[in-house]
Chains A and B, each alone.
Chain A
Amino acid sequence: MSTEPRASAAARTPRDLHPVAWWVWAIGLAAGASMTTNPLVLVLLLGSVLLVVAARRSDQPWARAFRLYLWLAAAIVVFRVLFRLVFGGAYGETVLLDLPEVPLPDWVMGITLLGPLTLESLLVGLYDGLRLAMIVVCVGAANALANPKRLLRSVPPALYEVGTALVVAVSVLPQFAESVRRVRRAQELRAGEQGRVARLRRLLVPVLEDALDRSLALAAGMDTRGYGRSGAATPAERRTTGALMLLGLCGIVVGVYAVLDRTAPRLLAVPMLVLGVAAAGAGLLSAGRRVERTRYRPDHWHPAELAVAGCGVLTAAIGWWVSGHQVLVAYPDVASVPPVSALALAGALVAALPAVLAPPPRLSAARAAPEPSRSTDPLPSSTPAPRASTR
């Protein structure tokens, strides 16, 4: 409680929350949602997500994608219910609509279309569909809230090279349009084959050559800045790394098998998975130690980040507890109105807290306005400096 005023004071200055915090929150919610089919709980969780996204979404392009995820989620639910309608499969007693059965020919093995439509089978489809839709919405919320470029910057050191390749990929993309324009202009000045395929080939090969040339120039630049320095890992350290990774993966394989095969000893299931993931994580840490690089303006974890991530973890924990101890709340019977417990409601409430706990996002509209601290800047930030088209 004592941290509350500090958190709210810090929350007043607009800033981007650490992207990993948003992802932890969203994955926590998705985990919580995956452990229940109770439509009331799921709809409450959906409300929480919508509230947080509405309150803390920035006006950057990636934030606009959230609507697509909502459409996709709706499509999933509709698909699931329609599927129940078309591929009936008699289930339950309350017949809503007695449609004629249409048996399909033999080669599709006894699958029948339509048939009596029962309330139970529709509801089962709806509940299951809602659960998957909710997971999609949670991931969509993380996409909308977390800045993908900053997320790339906070990849673990073990994936440093991979992260660099991705950064190269993301930042090189706008150059292609320019490259295509240049090649086109050059080709208009020359005669050449005019067939459709030949034209495409004449365009594609120079553009690809250009892109690869650029990449090699970029590599030379990276080389001179000391990128290619290999770390100081001793052979023993590298052996440890490899052993940890292999052990971790083996643990995961055994754990996955035991989770699926209910006759395997339970000790091999979740504990083995936890061990495997822990060993793999240790391997990643150990592989990351060879990378000795500093980060330019690293994102820090402030209390607000911890609070948002904590909300996600708490939601997942509550979902897990409810699914274990209040089975009827987590997986309600389709024949009656789904019951709700205070704890399940609390889970949805905790999920909505980041709407208050997270700082408001920086809006680019506000950023474009001249800031007092930058008033000494000779160029107004809204007009970009003219750049020579060198490359």
Chain B
Amino acid sequence: MSRARFRLRERPEARAAAVPLSLRSVAVLAVASLAGLVMLCWPLFVQVQPGDRVDPPFLFLALLPVVVAVVLAEVSEGGLDPRVLAVLGVLCAVNALLRGISAGVAGIELVFFLLILAGRVFGPGFGFALGALSLLASALMTAGVGPWLPYQMLVAAWVGMGAGLLPRRARGRTEIALLVGYGVLASYLYGMFLNLSGWPFLLGVQVPGHEGSLAYVAGAPLLENLQTFLVYTVLTSTGSFDTGRAITTSIALVVLGPAVLGTLRRAARRATVTGEVRAAD
């Protein structure tokens, strides 16, 4: 009588990632990331003939949403489990809320805190979707949709995916240390990538032969442009916003990370368990 009448039989793959990535999804992700990377880093590699007029390629602003849409469609192609989807929606809302709260205070940015933890717990596919969607959700809620949004979505999606790809073994303090290290790296890289995306648009494209300014010079050697860009990014954001983001992310990860990780793991267990309930013999 005291024995449970039913038992849950877990299938071997039962505790898989929340958003399973098939081989095909991985291929789509890789190609899309390559496309995104080219659209981000084009100023460093573009070659021009003398006398050509180089405009910032506004075309990319329209192309990038297509790329992001295709990846999101591919990630959810098999049909997401409703539990995973509901958790995704709720975490998006929390992230959007954190972003909304921290946007008012200069240098404090908490977007990455939950994104990294959730990517770590739920896996790379979920992290990708969460990164892209939480920025979209917060932009929709605060009416902050702009040409910068596709870039933000893509880079934040990479951050979430990267958190899911970190070595699984680490637990306890090692894990927190690992996540903090990743958080600092991601904060600076995020700032740099977004600066790179905005650089030619914001400062314009310099005509070759008129160096000595911070603007992008089309067709200049890679190293020169890279140096100019580094000075630009250090002056504008690395010292201020990115450092603030790195510090707040690390503090949040150290202080709240273990507790939130536990909460998320509990939820992940409930959201990703699949199996069939059979009457005990």
Contacts and interface: CB of A to CB of B under 8 A. Distances in A.
Interface of A: 27, 30-31, 34-35, 62, 65, 68-69, 72, 76, 79-80, 83, 87-91, 108-112, 124-125, 128-129, 132, 135-136, 139-140, 142-144, 148, 151-152, 156, 158-162, 164-170, 172-173, 176, 197, 200-201, 204-205, 208-209, 211-212, 214-216, 218-219, 222-223, 227-228, 230-231, 238, 241-242, 245-246, 248-250, 252-253, 256-257, 259-263, 273, 277, 280-281, 283-284, 287-288, 290, 331
A365 B206 CA distance: 51
Contacts of A165: 80, 85, 88-89, 92, 129, 133
Interface stretch (B48-56, B163-171, B186-194, B239-247): B48-56
Given A31-B62, A139-B147, A212-B267, A287 B90 contact: no
The prevalent SS among residues of A at the interface is helix
Contacts of A125: 204
A215 B87 contact: yes
A76 B121 CA distance: 40
Interface string B13-28: 0000000000010011
A76 B86 contact: no
B47 interface: yes
**Interface pairs A-B: 5 shortest CB-CB:** A168-B89, A65-B143, A34-B58, A89-B213, A169-B92
A205 B24 CA distance: 37
A71 B20 CA distance: 43
A110 to B, nearest CB: 6
B133 A162 contact: yes
B177 interface: no
B76 A161 contact: yes
A59 B56 CA distance: 36
Interface string B206-230: 1000111111000000000001100
B235 to A, nearest CB: 8
Contacts of B49: 262
A363 to B, nearest CB: 18
Given A173-B96, A280-B66, A283-B70, A89 B89 contact: no
A260 B45 contact: yes
A213 B213 CA distance: 55
Given A27-B62, A209-B263, A223-B82, A164 B89 contact: yes
The prevalent SS among residues of B at the interface is helix
Contacts of B73: 158-159, 162, 245, 283-284, 287-288
B147 A135 contact: yes
15 contacts: A35-B58, A132-B201, A139-B147, A144-B143, A161-B76, A162-B76, A165-B129, A173-B93, A204-B256, A219-B82, A249-B32, A252-B67, A262-B47, A284-B69, A284-B73
Contact of A170 (B140, B147, B262): B140
Interface in B129-159: 129, 133-134, 136-137, 140-147
Contacts of A200: 255-256
A35 B53 CA distance: 12
A111 B202 contact: no
Nearest to B59: A259
Contacts of B256: 200-201, 204
A331 B94 CA distance: 46
B28 A249 contact: yes
B260 A208 contact: yes
Contacts of A136: 146-147
B82 A252 contact: no
A306 B109 CA distance: 42
B259 interface: yes
B147 A252 contact: no
A199 to B, nearest CB: 12
A89 B140 contact: no
A62 to B, nearest CB: 5
A166 B94 contact: no
B64 to A, nearest CB: 10
A152 B204 contact: no
B94 A87 contact: no
B79 interface: yes
A48 B264 CA distance: 49
A273 B70 CA distance: 15
Nearest to A27: B62
B135 to A, nearest CB: 11
A249 B228 CA distance: 31
A242 B28 contact: yes
A108 B229 CA distance: 11
